[in-house]
Amino acid sequence: MTTIGLLKEPAHETRVSLLPEAVSILVKKNLEVLVEPGAGEKSFASDHEYEKVGAKLLPRHEIINTSQVILVIHKLPLEDVELMRSKVAIGVYLPLHHIPRMHEWASRGVTIFSLDMLPRITRAQSMD
């Protein structure tokens, strides 16, 4: 079973990578979703709502250790990156503006999908 980890964003960010509605779809597709407590509170999604749709709440380090895919909008702190060997991170990382960071992550075996690199044309809108 594939495990997806949803991490809490830095204090200034009000977005979250997945709301409970999206988590419920993934759970119905037999994916396990782990959520860091408080991840959705600035987006008006409580921990209870995530649990109600089938997500499990776990501490950040357990989510990173257990998940194959990590969803986090902003860059990961270095201590998190060290745990990410052979994992996939999906977010908005601005790789063309942070080339040294991308080299560092790659040297640690982290696969990155940066959503800011998706083309914004009609054919790509199905990615939204």
The domain that contains 96 carries what CATH number?
A: 3.40.50.720
How many domains does the structure of the chain reveal?
Answer: 1
Q: Say if residue 128's pLDDT is above 60.
A: no
Q: Pick the more confident residue, 77 or 88.
A: 88
pLDDT, residue 124, reads 58
Question: What sign results for the dihedral spanned by CA atoms 93, 99, 104, 107?
Answer: positive
Mean pLDDT of 77-90: 83
Q: Say if residue 71's pLDDT is above 70.
A: yes
Taking the CA atoms of the chain, what radius of gyration do you get in angstroms? 14
pLDDT in tens, 4-62: 999 999 999 999 999 999 999 999 999 999 999 999 999 999 999 999 999 999 999 99
Q: Distance between CA 123 and CA 29 in Å, rounded?
A: 25
**Residue 23: which domain range?**
3-127
3-state secondary structure of 79: helix
Distance, C-alpha 62 to centroid of its chain = 14
Per-residue burial over 33-55, b = 16 or more CB atoms within 10 Å of its CB, e = otherwise: bbbbeebbeeeebebebbeebeb
pTM (two decimals): 0.86
Q: Which of the four pLDDT bands, split at 50, 70 and 90, describes residue 80? A: confident
Q: Please identify which residue in the block is written with the tokens 């959520």.
A: 35
Q: Which of the four pLDDT bands, split at 50, 70 and 90, describes residue 77? A: confident
